[in-house]
Amino acid sequence: MSKRYSIKSRVSLSRPRVIMSAVVLSSIFLISNSASAMVSNNSIDTPLVSSKSIGIHQYNDFNSNAYWSQDMVWAVDQGLIKGYVNQIHPRGVHAGIGNWVDPHGSLTEAQLLSILFRYTHQAELENTAPKDPFWASTAYQLAHKYNVPTKGSLSNKAEANKGTTRGQLATTLATIHFGKQVSLREAVDFMYETGITYGRTDAWGNSPMTFESFGANDPLQRAHITSFMKRYHDYLQKGGSVNPAPPTSQPAPPTTQPTPPPTSSFEFSIKPSENNRVGNITVHYGQHTYGSKNQAEYNEVMKRVHDAINKDLASTPFMSGHNGALYQYFDNFMAGERPIMDRNHPDVRSSKNVALRAFETSYKDLRDAGVKKNTIEEVAKAGVLAVSLMSHAKDPRDGTPNSAHDAIVKGLIDCDAEAQVYSAVYDSLGYTTAILARPGHAFVVIKIEGNWYLDTAGVYTKVDMKQAMSQGLQVVVPPTDGSTLR
């Protein structure tokens, strides 16, 4: 299932901004030095890279059409990347001797730390005396000093030399940026809201920008770090704020509290119970039991759903994966303003464009159908709230979970149980829902101001129900209002 999260990030302090060094990526391809020759026996040697500098087009594996090509050119033009010159390919994927930039090679944690600290703390990294002959000793010393979480250490060089992930990059970069440890979910929010990434695209080419679509567990490649760091650099160059790490001896001066971002003020109410009888269970809405086996299970589900709506819906983030900062641009979206899609445009990763792109991906069909602003906010918040009710649940991979009680109370989930939870939440707010199925998958559809929509990880897609039913979909749970789908 797609889980969605929200955080409120720290923002700029009144302290002077950290001066960013241009030496960002030189540790992607580590140059031989005396330290690397002294690596202790329990570490994995970092491949030696020629210190010779050559033009970008002299690398055999450079692809000018690749998404990372311009970021790589930027790095080479800055003298940051030198690659493997006149050597056997480091991963053996090409035969013979050549020049290799190796964009798809994995990046180790030691290399990641070195890259980030060379960007943010270059002078300190260079002037710190290493405590260990390990080539990345000073990087790990700074990680310890600034409370950056790591898997490796000077006493565990095997982990230091293992490949890292996109999630570890996000957590490490955000921790350094804010000067304090942040959670993985907060770090993913940071990556989205600064425009560093839009995450993975779905089957329709959309960028849902959810926690799952970020791909936190995916391996981090050398091309990835080049692009991520270039975008981070661009963010800072355009005035993005940095919280320097707190000093070790003097307390930080008082900070200026920022003006809170605009928030929505929509009104909502829980639909009164209809007290309908389905078998031995009295239900609130239509004939929907949400898969409950008895009255006790049903009552517990509805109590938790209604309690969550009353307590949390108003404060639930308008969009999954983002804090309230993007909401200020929602009126622009509703007025028909479209996002910039040209990746070379100077404002493509501005906060406004990140917001417009997120709104366009998630709510375009709703807006274009004339759905009211307040309604879009309500259904969006309801979807995020439904996910929060299931955030603790795990999929046993045996097909047994099939009720909202399984998901919310027992913590067991699959697509059937997930659909029942969505149905319970949307029904409670007065919407009509139904659960449909195709072989191997069940999903909820919601009727919003006369049209049916599919909610896929926060992306609301208008459904031509007549066409959908003609393709052999099965109605698992009929609509709340008793209508017939055909």
pLDDT tens for 428-481 read 999 999 999 999 899 999 999 999 999 988 889 999 999 989 988 999 999 999
Q: Quick one: pLDDT band at residue 234, thresholds 50, 70, 90?
A: confident
- The residue type of 265 is S
Check pLDDT > 70 for residue 409.
Answer: yes
168: Cβ–Cβ under 8 A, 6 or more apart, which residues? 109, 112, 151, 220
Mean pLDDT in residue range 147-171: 95
Q: How far apart are the first and last CA of the chain?
A: 27
CA atoms of 177 and 159, how far apart (whole Å):
24
Q: Which region among 39-43, 312-316, 322-326, 421-425 has the lowest average model confidence (pLDDT)?
A: 39-43
CA atoms of 4 and 358, how far apart (whole Å):
14
* CA angle, residues 90, 171, 262, in degrees to nearest 5: 135
Most confident of 59-68, 198-207, 352-361, 374-383: 374-383
Mean pLDDT in residue range 244-271: 47
The pTM is what?
0.61
Check pLDDT > 90 for residue 210.
Answer: no
Q: Where are the beta strands (DSSP E) in 29-137?
A: 84-88, 97-100
Check pLDDT > 70 for residue 260.
Answer: no
pLDDT value of position 275: 92
Name the strand (E) or helix (H) holding 65.
none
Exposed / middle / buried, residue 12 (Cβ in 10 Å: 0-12, 13-18, 19+): middle
Mean pLDDT in residue range 390-411: 94
- The SS3 of residue 431 is coil
What are the pLDDT digits (tens) for 106-117?
A: 888 998 999 888
pLDDT value of position 300: 97
In 3D space, the residue among 214, 182, 223 whose CA is nearest the CA of residue 62 turns out to be 223
Average pLDDT, the chain: 81
Name the strand (E) or helix (H) holding 475.
strand 474-477
Check pLDDT > 90 for residue 256.
Answer: no
Q: Quick one: pLDDT band at residue 54, thresholds 50, 70, 90?
A: confident
Mean pLDDT in residue range 413-439: 96
Check pLDDT > 70 for residue 62.
Answer: yes
pLDDT value of position 37: 31
Check pLDDT > 90 for residue 367.
Answer: yes
User: How far apart, in Å, are the Cα atoms of 423 and each of 141, 243, 284, 411, 454?
Assistant: 51, 42, 12, 17, 12
Name the strand (E) or helix (H) holding 451.
strand 451-456
93: Cβ–Cβ under 8 A, 6 or more apart, which residues? none
pLDDT value of position 1: 42
Check pLDDT > 60 for residue 266.
Answer: no
pLDDT value of position 203: 62
**307 close to 369: Cβ distance less than 8 angstroms:** no
Check pLDDT > 80 for residue 163.
Answer: yes
87: Cβ–Cβ under 8 A, 6 or more apart, which residues? 50, 97, 98, 99, 100
pLDDT value of position 323: 52
pLDDT value of position 325: 65
- The residue type of 413 is I
- The length of the chain in residues reads 486
pLDDT value of position 80: 57
Mean pLDDT in residue range 46-65: 69
The number of C-alpha atoms within 13 Å of 52 and in the hemisphere containing its C-beta is: 12
Q: Of all residues in the chain, what percent carry a pLDDT higher than 70? A: 80
Exposed / middle / buried, residue 383 (Cβ in 10 Å: 0-12, 13-18, 19+): buried
